[in-house]
Structure 1
């Protein structure tokens, strides 16, 4: 039965259903749609055909992976995975990304994906993501992060970020920012030894992302350079490297996404193989214009052209380009 919210998308759903063997047409039908339109298409498709469109993409991905025959599934596994993520609501998508990230064997991989979530989402969104994670996997996201083995610095920082979404106040304070900036200096480059992890983790766990942004701005105003510079000393270790990733993402998310995720993925300089599709899917309707501009200014090439140069021609590349130019 069609709901009022989904009424009017019957023709689109029929087009999607009938064009399953014509993948490029399927891509064009979906890539240009907004989040709300995709949600309505998903509801309408299920009402008409009795099947969740997301599940169909996931089943096609499994079939293609198991048979190693894209013709059998009608669609490549990479494209299936990207389309299924694209059709999910944002909090559902983040839950899936978080689970896949935690199943990675290398901690820098899962840290990148989770940092994008915990730094780039509001606390209300994080709450919905945790609910979706529990509903889908019957597990607690916080607990899964805390149970990562072996324990490492990336895990410590993620736990602090998780805690910050529970404890912080919505309002930002210049006074708190100045005090935190001084504490970061005194326990970092202002001291002769290694950075005091406990102090940094305490600040991260008690402050909102907006408050941390103000702190880093205050740090530069007081000491004349970015906080990130203090983390590039010779004795920097795993904790400093993990912290650098988080600070860069907090300080300027579009620049971080353009450089640390897109450029590194396009150039094959990262083990985070899903980073390119993950970022394009999640930010296509959020800040892609700004990311594209930063990418062009920094690397002298349009993002779509960079994707075309690095990804073999085909439906998967077509979908990524559609998202990059959305």
Structure 2
């Protein structure tokens, strides 16, 4: 029957890497004149395992554009998901995501994020998305040292921090350059920039910038923390993490998760999904 066939289809797709999935999608269209992604689109909201297959088969930029849009407009604003996408993708990837978002939704992701959210993230996240305009694939360590000093002065020179300078810098440096700045900051001042943001004068802006910065520096710890939280969308977080990170740093995430919980992502998957499906998710 249709349900059984769908489940078999999903099981086949789950156990393939991204290159194999592209080939399967192309062959399916050739044989049956139908986009396999559309088949999955009809069932992925009701079937969590199909959701995993759907996200893995999507082109990465289309997948992330959809994740952002759903986080903004899906009925419940999800800032953590926006942080996840903005701060764990490279500048080259963010550029592609922005183009895909505009193509799919006829809108600008920076403007939509700024319009929908509040607090420090209202400035921080659009600045991160804007930074991809400056992507050239190179890292300048001399510039990183200068920028690290600029960050230090933005926090230390006045009674309150210079948010404008920090946001301006964040929006003008690509992801690789930002990481180089953070390395330079520690070399110059003996501690992480994120530690400076813990000072009371940094306020709520400092707390939120610290979350974004730490996510950029240690994405595996950010994902692991999200997975430890027991929320209404815990299952979606697990699915999204497996779908987006299975071929990147899922082992590092697993280690970070185990360090805090004494358990593995495989065990988490077995708890989250019922018995006849858990092996599919856990195997990824």
TM over 0.5: yes
* Structure-1 separation of matches of 2:153 and 2:75: 35
Aligned to 1:224: 190
Which runs of 5 or more structure 1 residues have no equivalent in the other structure? 1-17, 65-75
Question: Could you list the per-position Cα deviations for residues 231-263 of structure 1 after superposition, in whole angstroms to 9, with x for gaps in the alignment?
Answer: 22345543223211210111122232223x222
1:106 Cα shift? Answer: 5.9
* Structure-1 separation of matches of 2:167 and 2:49: 38
Which runs of 5 or more structure 2 residues have no equivalent in the other structure? none
* Structure-1 separation of matches of 2:75 and 2:161: 27
* Structure-1 separation of matches of 2:216 and 2:133: 18
Distance 1:234 1:288, change over 3 A: same
1:182 Cα shift? Answer: 2.0
Q: TM-score scaled to structure 1, two decimals?
A: 0.76
Q: Work out which structure has the larger RCO, using CA pairs closer than 8 Å and 6 or more positions apart in sequence.
A: 2
Distance 1:115 1:42, change over 3 A: same
Residue pair 1:160, 1:204 contacting (<8 A) in 2 also: yes
Distance 1:271 1:239, change over 3 A: farther
Choose which of 172, 176, 187 in structure 1 pairs with 2:143: 176
Residue pair 1:46, 1:52 contacting (<8 A) in 2 also: yes
Residue pair 2:227, 2:234 contacting (<8 A) in 1 also: no
Correspondences of 1:110-129 after superposition (within 5 Å): 110=79, 112-129=80-97
Q: Report how many residues are paired.
A: 284
Aligned to 1:281: 243
Aligned to 1:206: 172
Q: Answer with 1 or 2: which has the greater Rg.
A: 1
* Structure-2 separation of matches of 1:238 and 1:105: 25
Superposition CA RMSD, Å = 2.7
1:100 Cα shift? Answer: 0.9
Choose which of 81, 84, 88 in structure 1 pairs with 2:54: 84
Choose which of 313, 322, 326 in structure 1 pairs with 2:274: 313
Residue pair 1:164, 1:204 contacting (<8 A) in 2 also: yes
